């Protein structure tokens, strides 16, 4: 079976008054590759109910890099945890609604099939916003030093982690953690980052 590739539009938002922006063309390209690898991972595609679907979509993710003061404020406001963290996600779909993503794509396929006598499905105009990911770059930098790899690899890891959350994965319960944590490590390893 041929697997169709989903696309990702990664919108990197510099945070106002932040010195936390580490983005450059190389990092942005790596992050786009990380997000694209995540949405096209076989386990992810199956969870979205799209393993037997010929459709493709473009997923939009907003990424904001912040400093520790900004992350602490956001974390306190939304989670009532008054300290900075490495990554926060704000999904547009909760875990129970992740099949909505499949339904959005499927509705495009169905509309295309009713007006199209060929066997091809054009869903290139199907754009699905997934939500926002906020990464605290000073925390990511410290974690990269502790783990002995590049900050690019650490930020890619955090983006993969956040993207999985946007797609309904979690790691609160052991049964969920046993799926998500190896999945994010496998995706990161496939990128072969230093």
CATH of the domain at 90: 3.40.390.30
Q: Is residue 46 part of a domain?
A: yes
Report the distance separating Cα 151 and Cα 193, nearest Å: 10
pLDDT at position 180: 87
Rounded to two decimals, the pTM is 0.82
| CA 69 to chain CA centroid, nearest Å | 24
The pLDDT tens digits for 13-52 are 765 545 555 656 678 888 999 999 998 888 888 777 666 6
**So what's the pLDDT on residue 121?**
45
Residue in 13, 6, 21 with CA at minimum distance from that of residue 155 = 21
Residue 2 forms part of a structural domain: no
**1, part of any domain:** no
Tally the domains of the chain. Answer: 1
Tell me which residue range forms the domain holding 132: 7-191
């Amino acid at each position: 079976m041929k697997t169709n590739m989903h696309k990702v539009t990664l919108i990197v938002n510099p945070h106002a008054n932040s010195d936390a922006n580490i983005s450059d063309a190389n990092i942005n390209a790596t992050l786009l590759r990380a997000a694209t690898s995540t949405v096209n991972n076989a386990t992810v595609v199956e969870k979205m109910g799209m393993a037997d679907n010929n459709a493709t979509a473009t997923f939009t993710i907003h990424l904001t890099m912040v400093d520790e003061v900004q992350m602490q404020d956001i974390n306190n406001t939304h989670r009532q945890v008054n300290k900075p963290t490495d990554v926060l996600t704000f999904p547009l779909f909760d875990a129970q609604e992740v099949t909505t993503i499949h339904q959005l794509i499927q509705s495009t396929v169905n509309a295309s099939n009713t007006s199209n006598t060929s066997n091809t499905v054009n869903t290139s105009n199907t754009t699905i916003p997934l939500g926002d990911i906020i990464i605290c770059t000073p925390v990511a930098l410290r974690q990269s030093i502790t783990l002995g790899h590049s900050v690019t690899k650490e930020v890619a890891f955090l983006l993969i982690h956040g993207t999985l959350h946007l797609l309904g994965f979690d790691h609160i319960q052991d049964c969920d953690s046993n799926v998500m944590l190896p999945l994010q490590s496998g995706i990161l390893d496939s990128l072969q980052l230093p």
